[in-house]
């Protein structure tokens, strides 16, 4: 061994070590998914079908949470506005989408209606309300709380306390076979897992929109201005950009996404009073964990929250629901800027 080689024998660097761990984790996950589980594993953890289903559900509901939270994080990141009425936008979009879909009979029209109406609502909110409260964070937050209280009650007045189920088009209905084996029957026949097609589509939609958002933020001029505004709003204004227009556009996008998520989520999880609080809390956790203002952070946060929720529901039903908030508290205490957020 030559002298030049000895310095490398100090072992792995931290980055290499993490990389190996990551590879190992991926390998284990792949095996868990694709292989037939041995009996000891089934006895310890439960049937494979349950585990795979929980993970799939976690990932697909993460898609939904990402859709809702991405708008929230953009609005906060850029305008430092914690819009606690974001859940109300979700629910209102769902209700309007439902009424539209019900009236015309087309679910896709419902989606369009939900999205567009909420985008308009976002523009109105930004123009009439938040523009006047510029710079006063606490007051903005309080105003959004007040708006959410009033909105929730008015929605209850208009649409009542009934639960509404969307009628999704036939081509989205039903379950599809996945290439994941859940069991091998005594006859040697392998049983493949079925999974609802609609949920897979929700995930696909979330990925598509996530990619579109990334492209918007990173490859367009507007995106560049938004990112600049997130970093330093004063500079953005000083460089001559019409900041109010950007703010309004971002709020419209964020609110529109919430409305879109309302219809999409409402189709699988129904529309009822109380959903606004639920999705607001979920968005808060996702955005805190992922980092305010970061779309990729929202994706990671959504994955974490979605998986924690579903796995908790199956394996720790009693306290699973507390888990999401414990995650949030831990992240806030240790790394307040979130996993992908910039240090403040």
Partner 1 sequence: MMEIESKLGGTNMSLQRKAIMALTLATAFVAPTLAMAEGTIKIGTLATLEGPFTVLGQDGMRGVELAIKEHNGMAGGMKIEIVKGSTDASPDSAVKAARKLVEQDGVQLVVGPLSGDEGLAVKDYAKTKPNITFVNGTSGAQDLTLRDPAANYFRFNTDGAQWMAGLGDYAYNVKGYKKVATVAEDYSFPYSQVFGFMAGFCKAGGHVPSKSWVPIGNKDFSSVIAALPDDVDAIYVALGGADASNFLSQYQQAGGKAHLIGGTITVDQTVLGSEGKSKDVVIGTPSAGPVADNNDSPAWAKFAADYKAAFKDGFPAPSLFAHGYYVNTKALLLALDQVKGDVSGDQSKLRDALSKLSFDTPTGKVSLDKNRNAIADIYLSEVAKGADGKLYNKVVKTIPQVNETLGQDEAAFLKLGVANKDNPDCK
Partner 2 sequence: MSITDVPAGPNAFDRFFQQLGTGQILLAVALVLYPFLVSPFFAFQIGGQILILGMIALSLMMLAGYGGMVSLAQLTLAGIASYSVAIFGTNSVGLMGFGWPWWIVVPFSILIAALVAVLIGLISVRTSGIYTIMITLAIGTAFFYFATQNHSLFNGFAGYRGIDAPTVFGVYWRDPIPFYYLCLAVAVVAYGLVLYCARSSFGLALQATRDNPRRMRAIGYNVTAVKVFAYFLSGLIAGTAGVLYAWFNGRISPGTISVGEIIGVLVIAVIGGLRHPIGPFLGALVYVLMKTFAIDLIGAERFNTLIGLVFLVIVFISPDGILGLWEKLKPHLAPTSLRSS
| Strands (E) located in 117-189 | 175-184
Minimum CB distance to partner 1, residue 131 (Å): 18
Dmax (CA) for the chain in angstroms is 82
How far is the CA of 316 from the CAs of 55, 71, 170, 279, in angstroms? 14, 31, 35, 21
How many residues in the chain?
Answer: 344
Minimum CB distance to partner 2, residue 152 (Å): 7
Under rule CB under 8 A, residue 88 binds partner 1: no
**Cα–Cα dist 186/205, whole Å:** 39
Interaction partner, residue 137 (partner 1, partner 2, none; CB < 5-8 Å by kind): partner 2
- DSSP character string of 215-245: HHHHHSHHHHHHHHHHH-HHHHHHTT--HHH
CB nearer partner 1, residue 120 or residue 313? 313
- Give the residue, chosen from 198, 203, 247, 251, that forms a contact with partner 1 under the rule CB under 8 A: 198
Tell me the backbone φ, ψ of residue 273, rounded to 5 degrees: -60, 145
Q: Which of residues 108-147 bind partner 1 (CB under 8 A)?
A: 136, 138-139
CB nearer partner 1, residue 16 or residue 162? 162
Residue ranges in contact with partner 2 by CB under 8 A: 80, 82, 136-139, 141-143, 145-147, 149-150, 152-154, 156-157, 277, 281, 284-285, 288, 318-319, 321-322, 325-326, 328-329, 332-333, 336
CA dihedral 134, 136, 141, 147 (to 10 degrees): -50
Under rule CB under 8 A, residue 173 binds partner 1: yes
**Cα–Cα dist 265/271, whole Å:** 8
- Give the residue, chosen from 22, 146, 169, 174, that forms a contact with partner 1 under the rule CB under 8 A: 174
**Cα–Cα dist 267/221, whole Å:** 35
Minimum CB distance to partner 1, residue 152 (Å): 10
Minimum CB distance to partner 2, residue 291 (Å): 12
Under rule CB under 8 A, residue 162 binds partner 1: yes
Say if CB 267 and CB 198 are below 8 A apart. Answer: yes
Distant-in-sequence, close-in-space partners of 279: CB < 8 Å, separation ≥ 6: 65, 68, 86, 87, 90, 91, 261, 265
Under rule CB under 8 A, residue 66 binds partner 1: no
Minimum CB distance to partner 1, residue 84 (Å): 19
Under rule CB under 8 A, residue 33 binds partner 1: no
Interaction partner, residue 149 (partner 2, partner 1, none; CB < 5-8 Å by kind): partner 2
Interaction partner, residue 194 (partner 1, partner 2, none; CB < 5-8 Å by kind): partner 1
Under rule CB under 8 A, residue 321 binds partner 1: yes
Say if CB 338 and CB 291 are below 8 A apart. Answer: yes
| Strands (E) located in the chain | 175-184, 190-196
Under rule CB under 8 A, residue 278 binds partner 1: yes
Which residue is associated with the tokens 């000895």? 6
Distant-in-sequence, close-in-space partners of 159: CB < 8 Å, separation ≥ 6: 95, 99
Under rule CB under 8 A, residue 199 binds partner 1: yes
Interaction partner, residue 333 (partner 1, partner 2, none; CB < 5-8 Å by kind): partner 2
Under rule CB under 8 A, residue 270 binds partner 1: yes
Interaction partner, residue 147 (partner 2, partner 1, none; CB < 5-8 Å by kind): partner 2
Q: Which residues bind partner 1 (CB under 8 A)?
A: 46-47, 49-50, 53-54, 57, 61, 102, 136, 138-139, 156, 160-167, 173-175, 194-196, 198-199, 268-270, 272-275, 278, 309-311, 313-314, 317-318, 320-321
């Amino acid at each position: 061994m030559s002298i030049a080689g000895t310095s490398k024998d100090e072992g792995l660097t931290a980055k290499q070590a993490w990389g190996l761990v990551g590879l190992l984790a991926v390998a284990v996950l792949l095996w868990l998914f694709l292989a037939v589980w041995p009996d000891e594993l089934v006895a310890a953890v439960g049937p494979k079908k349950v585990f795979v289903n929980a993970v799939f559900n976690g990932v697909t509901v993460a898609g939904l949470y990402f859709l809702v939270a991405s708008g929230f994080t953009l609005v906060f990141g850029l305008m430092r506005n914690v819009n606690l009425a974001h859940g109300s936008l979700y629910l209102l979009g769902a209700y309007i989408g439902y009424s539209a879909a019900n009236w015309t009979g087309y679910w896709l029209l419902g989606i369009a209606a939900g999205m567009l109406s909420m985008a308009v609502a976002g523009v109105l909110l930004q123009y009439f309300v938040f523009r006047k409260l510029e710079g006063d964070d606490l007051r903005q937050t309080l105003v959004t709380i007040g708006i959410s209280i009033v909105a929730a009650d008015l929605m209850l007045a208009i649409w009542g306390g009934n639960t509404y189920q969307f009628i999704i088009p036939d081509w989205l209905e039903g379950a599809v076979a996945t290439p994941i084996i859940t069991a091998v029957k005594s006859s040697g026949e392998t049983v493949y897992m079925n999974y609802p097609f609609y949920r897979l589509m929700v995930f696909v939609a979330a990925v598509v929109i996530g990619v579109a958002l990334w492209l918007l933020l990173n490859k367009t001029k507007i995106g560049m201005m938004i990112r600049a505004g997130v970093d330093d709003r004063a500079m953005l204004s000083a460089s001559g950009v019409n900041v109010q227009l950007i703010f309004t556009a971002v709020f419209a996008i964020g609110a529109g996404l919430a409305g879109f998520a309302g219809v999409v989520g409402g189709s699988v999880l129904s529309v009822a009073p109380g959903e606004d609080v639920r999705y607001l809390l979920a968005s808060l956790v996702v955005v805190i964990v992922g980092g305010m203002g970061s779309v990729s952070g929202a994706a990671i946060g959504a994955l974490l929250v979605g998986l924690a929720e579903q796995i908790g529901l199956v394996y720790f039903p009693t306290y699973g629901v507390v888990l999401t908030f414990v995650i949030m508290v831990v992240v806030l205490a240790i790394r307040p800027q979130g996993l992908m957020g910039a240090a403040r």
